[in-house]
């Protein structure tokens, strides 16, 4: 399970880790769901189903994150006397069952045609036939890592960068975003600053689309940068390696 979702599960439910009951559970999923809702009425239960472990049930809890729904997973015994948060590991495959389930539940598919690409910085490489959207913050170290280690190596691609300064983390990022957007050549200013460390200069008081982009990012549930959106609608957070970008660009 990713750190963010693990935090979400722990903070939302605010319950300690407890051992599961060893007794066999005869209760149905509906009975478990009713018991869970009685004990935790503040949480909206999406689904309940038997977990891969005998005697345990998987409870999917729905919540709001930004402008979209997000789900977390916990495990309970048949009477909901005990609750477990964290990763359920399949020891044969050495993979997290929980993480795979969360990836399935929280997969974000973005309507590419609805993205306001005219409000993005546009950089064309080669013929620019492949398309990629990136939400990025000029003061985000991971955004700079993505630019320098992955994006510089792409060819035949058009990259649309939405300036998405996270003021709570980087207080000067919004000013820098305005400077970049207000420059004579925003694409050149952006790439020089992010990939070469060039200093920014010039005005920062022109009209910018930052407020609209911030609203769009909130609607999509983007809480960190960088965040990449591929033409098939897949949203991938983080400074992913070049191979992962190429794989997603090729996906249908």
Task: Spell out the domain ranges in the chain.
Answer: 3-105, 112-250
For the whole prediction, is pTM greater than 0.85? no
The percent of residues in the chain predicted with pLDDT above 90, rounded, is: 74
| DSSP code of residue 53 | S
Positions in the chain short of pLDDT 70: 1-27, 65-68
What pLDDT is stored for residue 66 in this prediction? Answer: 56
User: Is 155 exposed, middle or buried, given 0-12, 13-18 or 19+ CB atoms closer than 10 A?
Assistant: exposed
Inter-residue contact 125 to 221 (CB < 8 Å)? no
What pLDDT is stored for residue 98 in this prediction? Answer: 92
Closest CA to 70 of 213, 215, 214, 223: 223
What pLDDT is stored for residue 39 in this prediction? Answer: 95
User: Distance between CA 1 and CA 86 in Å, rounded?
Assistant: 7
The count of C-alpha atoms lying within 13 angstroms of the C-alpha of 50, restricted to the half-sphere facing its C-beta, is 9
What pLDDT is stored for residue 65 in this prediction? Answer: 66
Q: What superfamily does domain 112-250 belong to in CATH?
A: Glutaredoxin (3.40.30.10)
């Amino acid at each position: 399970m990713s750190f963010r979702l693990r935090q979400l599960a722990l903070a939302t439910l605010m319950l300690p880790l407890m051992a599961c009951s060893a007794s066999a559970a005869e209760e149905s999923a509906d009975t478990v769901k009713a018991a869970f809702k009685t004990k935790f009425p503040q949480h909206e239960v999406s689904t309940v189903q038997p977990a891969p472990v005998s005697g345990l049930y998987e409870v999917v809890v729905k919540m709001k994150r930004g402008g979209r729904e997000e789900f977390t997973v916990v495990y309970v015994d048949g009477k909901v006397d005990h609750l477990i948060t964290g990763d359920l590991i399949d020891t044969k495959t050495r993979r997290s069952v929980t993480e795979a389930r969360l990836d399935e539940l929280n997969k974000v598919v973005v309507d590419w045609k609805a993205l306001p690409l005219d409000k993005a910085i546009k950089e064309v490489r080669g013929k620019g036939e492949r398309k990629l959207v990136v939400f990025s913050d000029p003061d985000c170290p991971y955004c700079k890592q993505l630019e320098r280690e992955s994006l510089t190596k792409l060819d035949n691609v058009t990259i649309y960068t939405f300036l998405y300064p996270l003021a709570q983390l980087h207080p000067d990022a919004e000013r820098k975003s305005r400077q970049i957007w207000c420059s004579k050549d925003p694409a050149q200013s952006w790439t020089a600053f992010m990939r070469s460390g060039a200093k920014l200069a010039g005005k920062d008081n022109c009209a910018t689309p930052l407020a609209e982009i911030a609203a769009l990012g909130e609607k999509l549930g983007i809480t960190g940068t960088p965040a990449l959106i591929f033409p098939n609608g897949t949203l991938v957070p983080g400074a992913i390696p070049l191979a992962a970008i190429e794989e997603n660009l090729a996906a249908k």
